[in-house]
Amino acid sequence: MRLRLVPDDTKIDFFGRWKLWFGISLVLIVLSFISFGVRGLNYGIDFRGGTTIRTESTQEMDVGAYRDALSGLGLGDVLISEVFDPSFRADQHVAMIRIQAQDDEEAVTSELIQQVEEALKTVAPDIKFVSVESVGPKVSGELIWTAVQAVALAIGAVLIYVWLRFEWQFAVGAVVALIHDVVLTIGIFSELQIKFDLAIIAALLTIVGYSLNDTVVVFDRVRENLRKFKKTPLKEVLNLSINETLSRTTMTSLTTLLALIALIVLGGDVIRGFVFAMIWGIVVGTYSSIFIASPVLLFLGVKRDWSKPDNNAGNQFANIDA
The Cα 301–Cα 296 span in angstroms is 8
> Where are any strands of DSSP class E within the chain?
42-43, 50-57, 78-83, 93-100, 128-135, 195-196
Q: What is the pLDDT of residues 105-147, one digit of tens each?
A: 655 677 788 888 888 888 888 888 888 877 665 555 677 778 7
Closest CA to 166 of 10, 315, 64: 315
* Range among 183-187, 198-202, 303-307 with highest mean pLDDT value: 183-187
What's the count of helices (H) and strands (E) in the chain, helices before strands? 10, 6
Strand partners for 99: 51, 78
Co-location of 173 and 211 in the same domain: yes
Give yes or no: residues 262 and 221 share one domain: yes
pLDDT at res. 205: 83
Q: Are residues 70 and 180 in the same domain?
A: no
Domain identity same for 25 and 173: yes
Q: For residue 78, what is the DSSP state?
A: E
Q: Which long-range contacts (CB under 8 A, 24 or more apart) does 158-162 make?
A: 158/208, 158/212, 161/322, 162/212, 162/215, 162/216, 162/219
Count of Cβ atoms closer than 10 Å to residue 133 Cβ: 11
Report pLDDT digits (tens) over 5-49: 666 677 778 777 888 888 899 999 999 999 999 988 887 777 777
Specify the pLDDT at position 320: 41
Domain count, the chain: 2
Band the pLDDT of 304: cuts 50, 70, 90: low
6 assigned to some structural domain: no
* Residue 155 resides in a domain: yes
Note whether 182 and 151 are same-domain residues: yes
145, part of any domain: yes
Of 187, 136, 258, 261, the residue nearest 27 (C-alpha): 187
3-class secondary structure, 134: strand
117 lies in the same domain as 239: no
Q: Give tens-digit pLDDT for 20-32.
A: 888 899 999 999 9
Q: Is residue 73 part of a domain?
A: yes
Sign of CA dihedral 74, 65, 43, 269: negative
- Between CA 160 and CA 212 the distance in angstroms is 12
